[in-house]
Chains A and B, each alone.
Chain A
Amino acid sequence: MSASAVAAAHGHDDHAHGPVVWPEDAEFGLATPGKIAMWIFLLSDAFSFSGLLLGYGLLRGGSVQWHHPGEPELGINFTAFLTFLLICSSVSMVMALAAAQEHDRKRTCFWLFLTILGGIGFLCGQMHEYFGFLPFLGGGEHGLIGEGLVFGHSDYANTFYVTTTFHGCHVTAGVIYLSVILINTLRGKYGDNPAGPVELVGLFWHFVDLVWILVFTLIYLIP
């Protein structure tokens, strides 16, 4: 049964913003085409990250000397704090979804806003890690670049910057995506039921968190 047929059967036209009852599929249950498409996109994105991490592993595994003299160690404590910040933003994201499923627009917007703040905090932390422009945060006054970890100088620096910057681009995209959903929810574009769009942006945001968990372990923690 097509989406419009289902909508018509429930008294909605094609352009209605109200909840649409999606038919339960034998293979995919209640997952909407949008959700399945988001999962397929996330899997293709996971392959991009896999390529980067695989390249990192191969270069590091095959190198005789990974750390060159003069190159700084990565700050584990500071990055653990950034990891915790992303985990907190993942929790605020699921809280936003729970509120959206209860048709509570105000609380949905509140939790989405907190999630955006978490993402912005992570990005500021990453910029500080590179350039050291927020001395009150600790973790090195001059940043990694000032301390001698320069892109192009070694495989260690190249793989570090390419992987973490690629992830940072995803966080930036996530913050923009979340902001669009927040503005649309505030403006009432989804009516009282923003659960669908919030669930999709949530999938993307949790994926960004999941990838960071692996990047944190493989690049920062493994000695």
Chain B
Amino acid sequence: MQRLVAICRLDDIDREGGVTALVDGEVVAVFRTYADDVFALDNFDPFGQASVLSRGIVGTRGDRDVVASPLHKQVFDLRTGLCLDDESVRVAVHPVVVRDGVVHVEAATASAP
């Protein structure tokens, strides 16, 4: 089952910042980029084994939008969830829709592209 869950308003997320959200009981990190794109990843950092990714620093590597884990700084691509420092690791991504200034995140985890 897939359904969109309204999380918060776009303005509730700092530009180049992240928030943590509960989406159907799953803990999800939702990020807003400089260009106002919004992406959602599983919040769980597979390296540090803790629920922390939303609290990482958002920036760019080359032309990709990324977040660095606040625990040990591994960098993840916001679009694909791929860890750019260890391409064998990927975190799940959740489709996001921003409608009328409200951020919606799809509940069931999407399979990696």
Partners in one complex: no
- Which residues of A line the B interface, CB within 8 A? none
Residues of B near any A CB (own CB < 8 A) = none
